[in-house]
Amino acid sequence: MAGGEGDVKLLGLRLSPFVARVRMALDTKGVRYEYVEEDLAAKSSLLLASNPVHRKVPVLIHAGRPVCESLVILHYVDEAWPGARERAAARFWAAYVDGELFPAWGRVMMAATEEERAERAGEAAGMVARLEEAFAGCSDGGDAVGYLDLVLGSNLFWFEAPRRLLGVRLIDKGRTPLLAAWAVRFGEAAAANGMVTDALVDMAVEHAKKLRAAAMAAGK
C-alpha cells in the first residue's frame, strides 16, 4: 500500500475507459480506495457536488478534494503517490490516443458503407502504426506499467468491438507486432486484477452495437 493516501474515493462507470485507466493507476500504485459506481441517468449528489461543471466521471476524491478529468487525475496520482518515471513524450502520445485514435475507432464503427469503413479503418491503422513507432520509448514495456500503458490499455476492451462486429483489428500483430504483444500482456494483467472481464468486454460490444444501430437508423 502506498503511504499517505488519506481518504480516497473514486466515482466511476465500469464501461468507461477513462475510469478504467484511473483504477489501473491506483491499483498500480498500491493505493487503497473506495470505488463508487455511478448511474449517469440518476447522478448522485456527491458527483454533482464534486464535478458541478461537467457532471461526469471519473472523479477522484482525495482527502475531501475532488480531482476531475482522467488525464488530470493520472497526473495527480503520479505526483501524490510517486513511483514511476514519466516523460513528456508519453504525455504527448497519451493525448494522441484520446484526441485522435479513440475518435478514429468511432469513425470506423459508424461507417455507413463497406467502402467508407475500409477507408476509415485504413486511417485508424495509420494512427496505430505511428503509435507503434513511438511506443518503444514511451511505454515501460515489461512488468512496470507507465502513463501511456494506462491510457492506451484502458481502451483495449473497446477495441474488441470493431473486431467482433466488423472484422476490423485496430491492433494487429502483422502490422504492429510490438503493440500486439504488449496488448496481450496488458490484457492478461488487467484480467488477472479483475479490471477487464469477459462480461465487461461483452457489455462494451453490445453498447457499441447499439450506437452503430442508432447511427445507421439516423442516416437513413
Domains of the chain are: 8-80 (3.40.30.10), 88-218 (1.20.1050.10)
Kindly state the percentage of the chain with pLDDT values over 90.
61
Residue 14 CB-half CA count within 13 A: 13
Q: Which of 33-47, 83-97, 113-127, 156-170 has the lowest mean pLDDT?
A: 83-97
Kindly state the DSSP code that residue 55 receives in the 8-state scheme: -
- Calpha distance 33→111 (Å, rounded): 40
Checking if the pLDDT of 18 tops 70, the result is yes
Do residues 136 and 176 touch, judged by C-beta distance below 8 A?
A: no
- Calpha distance 108→106 (Å, rounded): 5
- 40-70 residue pLDDT tens: 999 999 999 999 999 999 999 999 999 999 9
Look at residues 103, 199, 102 and name the one whose alpha carbon lies nearest to residue 156: 102
- 95-127 residue pLDDT tens: 999 999 999 999 999 998 899 999 999 999 999
pTM value surpassing 0.75: no
Per-residue confidence (pLDDT) for residue 220, from 0 to 100: 52
